[in-house]
Amino acid sequence: MLPFLFPPISRTRNPSKFSKSYPVRAAVVREQEEKEVVVEETFRPKTSGFNVQSQREPPQPDSDQLIIKIEQSINVFLTDTVIKVLDTFYRDRDYARFFVLETIARVPYFAFISVLHLYESFGWWRRADYLKVHFAESWNEMHHLLIMEELGGNSWWFDRFLAQHIAVFYYFMTVFMYALSPRMAYHFSECVEHHAYSTYDKFIKANGDELKEMPAPEVAVRYYTGGDLYLFDEFQTSRVPNSRRPKIDNLYDTFVNIREDEGEHCQTMKASQTPGNLRSPHSYADDGSKEDELSSGCMDTELHCEGIVDCLKKSVGPGLSKTKQ
Ligand SMILES: [Fe+2]
Ligand SMILES: [Fe+2]
């Protein structure tokens, strides 16, 4: 950690900035107050109905491009390796495969929250919107997991053993990666979420007729249609709250909505790769304007750097001194 590179939250606040409001929807790319990263669309879904959020891509220095390329290449390699392992063990056991996937799926959001809590304790960052959205994402993934358990995906000891041990390893790996480079960690999660989207998409297309004849799990009906849907709206950062209300009449509907959730996660992870870009969908007023950031407990908009890689790069280059002006 490099505490000398992170300004305390109290010193970085600029009250005048927090009184602005922007007539934009949730998680739409912010006005250009800070540099954005170029994000390669390595994992655009081929069969999806959702649009990957467009991002402005200003010219980047070669050094940034190179770092992003390295980060993304490592992520692609890691994701492909895990997919090969899962393909080996779960070629013909769909629910067990989904159980393993969903056990792992919650982990990165918990890891992001852990690191953000730590940074907040040290007075480096305060990002309430990130904490809210990441918790809502993990809550959504937990319900996917409960659905798979109700479908019997966790009935074998070996599947539980494998999933739980991968989850522990994945947690520490994500904490390390997030401290090193939030952009890289979010991109890795985008890769994982895209794999989840594709997996469910193929499953639905191969088994659609059969799934329509089967009942929906109770936990799915309760999660998607019952009670307070605040957290359900909270993780869908490209949508206005209350704009998606699924019907769950059978198992087909259940899997369609799980797939759509994975698509939403994919978009949120993509948007998160641009520093400071993530907004809670509930942080916008009814007229579409953004709530005052201080009243929503939110952003430190004058970060000097994001993660160890960014801090090191800026400490030896012109970036940090430029930001301080
Ligand atoms: Fe999931
Ligand atoms: Fe997911």
CA atoms of 96 and 152, how far apart (whole Å): 8
Return the ligand number nearest the Cα of 140.
1
Whether residue 1 has pLDDT greater than 60: no
Q: For the residues of 212-250, what is the DSSP string, one character each? A: HTSPPPHHHHHHHHSS--HHHHHT-TTS-TTS-----SS
**Cα(145) to centroid of ligand 2, in Å?**
10
**Cα(213) to centroid of ligand 1, in Å?**
23
**Cα(246) to centroid of ligand 1, in Å?**
16
Of 1.10.10.60, 1.20.1250.20, 3.40.50.1360, 1.20.1260.140, the CATH number of 72-283+305-324 is 1.20.1260.140
Distances (CA, A) of 13 to 22, 68, 293, 294: 18, 29, 11, 10
Poorest-pLDDT segment among 68-77, 274-283, 286-295? 286-295
CA atoms of 241 and 106, how far apart (whole Å): 22
Whether residue 320 has pLDDT greater than 60: no
Residues measured by CB to lie within 5 Å of ligand 2, the ion: 105, 193, 196, 262, 265
Domains of the chain by residue range: 72-283+305-324
Return the ligand number nearest the Cα of 258.
1
Return the ligand number nearest the Cα of 144.
1
- How confident is the prediction for the chain on average, in pLDDT? 79
**Cα(127) to centroid of ligand 2, in Å?**
22
**Cα(198) to centroid of ligand 2, in Å?**
11
Please report, rounded to a whole number, the percentage of residues in the chain having pLDDT higher than 90: 56
Residues measured by CB to lie within 5 Å of ligand 1, the ion: 102, 105, 141, 144
Higher-pLDDT residue of 24, 193: 193
pTM for the whole thing? Answer: 0.77
**Cα(117) to centroid of ligand 1, in Å?**
24
Poorest-pLDDT segment among 67-71, 119-123, 157-161? 119-123
**Cα(196) to centroid of ligand 1, in Å?**
7
Higher-pLDDT residue of 2, 124: 124
Q: What is the pLDDT of residues 218-261, one digit of tens each?
A: 999 999 998 889 999 999 998 899 999 999 999 999 999 999 99
Quick one: pLDDT at residue 311?
Answer: 78
Q: What is the pLDDT of residues 284-319, one digit of tens each?
A: 755 555 555 544 444 444 456 778 887 777 777 654
